[in-house]
Structure 1
Amino acid sequence: MSETASHSTVLDVGAEKLGKTYARALLAATQADGSTEVVVQDLNAVCDEALQHNPKLQMAFESPQISADEKCRVVDRLFGGNSHPALIKLMKVMAGRGRLGYLAAVRDAAVDLADEAAGRVVAEVRTAVPMSDQLRGEVTEQLSQRLGKSVRLRESVDADLIGGMIIRVGDTVFDSSVASRLDKLGKSAAAGFARQLMEQSDRFSSSA
């Protein structure tokens, strides 16, 4: 069963609800000692660096044929020395309840809840080529200044987007895509042009 919760199916709705339930419990357990950000980072690492690149591990977490005790031993062996104890405890609780396969849904919910609690805005940024660290920093700073809030970027690459970038914050779109001017410059120039656009904030136009 997929845990990506990216499609509107009955299974995805169930995963989303379970994800929120466990995510709330995880964040509640970390608020007292201020470890929420660290735990969310560790959860991201487990999902993005371990499960995403190891389908067999994800299948093992989902499998009803593997006992909860064995899953707990795997959690200890793979993550015990690197992840926050609160996350390890949650993973073992989920294993005991046959829910460890929903860890990605927990991550998605935990990230959203942590952003909400911190007053942080999520900006979806679509670019033709992967953003450099410098461009990422400039975009974050520009948006933070415009919105008056801390900003977290959710990045995606769209090869069909010839130049510039498209940024969406909620229902507002900041559009700096100028395909006609970049058509002859190629993808390597696209990133540099996007950086120039961000430096010149008056080039942006926004619409709801």
Structure 2
Amino acid sequence: MADYTTAARPYAKAVFELAQETSQFDSWSGRLQFWAALVSHPDMSERLAAPGLTHQDRATMIEKVVGDEMDEHSRNFIRLLSENNRLPLLPDIAAIYEELRAEAEGEIEATVTSAFELTDSQRDSIIGALSRRLERNVRIVNVVDKDLIGGAIIRAGDLVIDGSLRGRVENMERAVVN
């Protein structure tokens, strides 16, 4: 996956810069998400990988599915990806684009892994604390992991806060062993 991310990053940055110049963040988000879903669909993925297809054939296949809604920038982008055999990277390109967009808009997504579903007040409390600490708007995704026993692990960008009981037990175990 890291290789895909590295290869996808320049394309995502280029689209992000275009979206920024033209003030079309939402439009490009929608396009990239649609194309990512399209190339990830098993039938389309199989067709795009068929031997004997030219780069133009692959680009045309996507253009036909999208139809008249494809502007010149979109058409050129799909053709560029096809010529460079990068159509399978569209899911990674879309994900990186969304990260760049969130960063530009002063937002960050935090994953809160907890033993139980967070209550509204817990969500609000975590959002408030993280927003103050990171000086950004925070969106929370709650993942339930019963193995944590209690507490939570918060991941937001490079920040990781392990306040789980499992984490505390592991830390005590390491302290006893060392």
Q: TM-score, normalised by structure 1?
A: 0.59
Q: Does 1:38 align with 2:22?
A: no
1:86 CA drift (Å): 4.2
Percentage identity across paired residues of the two chains:
21
1:90 CA drift (Å): 1.6
**Structure 1 residues 65 and 172, CA, compared in 2 at 3 Å: closer, same or farther?**
same
Task: List gaps (5 residues or longer) in structure 1.
Answer: 6-11, 180-208
1:116 CA drift (Å): 2.8
Matched pairs, number = 164
* Partner SS state of residue 147, structure 2: coil
Deviation per CA, 1:43-98: give whole Å up to 9, x if none. Answer: 23443x4444x223234445554322332232123334677764454223211332
**Structure 1 residues 39 and 168, CA, compared in 2 at 3 Å: closer, same or farther?**
same
**Structure 1 residues 34 and 56, CA, compared in 2 at 3 Å: closer, same or farther?**
same
**Structure 1 residues 159 and 110, CA, compared in 2 at 3 Å: closer, same or farther?**
same
Partner of 2:131: 144
CA contact (8 A) 2:39 2:90 kept: no
Name the Cα RMSD after superposition.
Answer: 3.6
Matches for 1:117-156 after TM superposition, within 5 Å = 117-128=104-115, 138=124, 141-142=127-128, 143-153=130-140, 156=143
User: Aligned partners of 2:76 and 2:114: how far apart in 1?
Assistant: 38
CA contact (8 A) 2:9 2:96 kept: yes
* Partner SS state of residue 113, structure 2: strand
Deviation per CA, 1:149-184: give whole Å up to 9, x if none. Answer: 122445545353345542122234163x568xxxxx
**Structure 1 residues 45 and 59, CA, compared in 2 at 3 Å: closer, same or farther?**
same
Q: TM-score, normalised by structure 2?
A: 0.67
Q: Does 1:78 align with 2:65?
A: yes
User: Aligned partners of 1:136 and 1:95: how far apart in 2?
Assistant: 46
Partner of 1:112: 99
User: Aligned partners of 1:117 and 1:83: how far apart in 2?
Assistant: 25
Partner of 1:23: 12
1:126 CA drift (Å): 2.1
Q: Which has the higher helix share?
A: 2
1:40 CA drift (Å): 2.3
User: Aligned partners of 2:141 and 2:93: how far apart in 1?
Assistant: 17
Which deviates more from structure 2 when the two are superposed, residues 25-34 or residues 142-151?
142-151
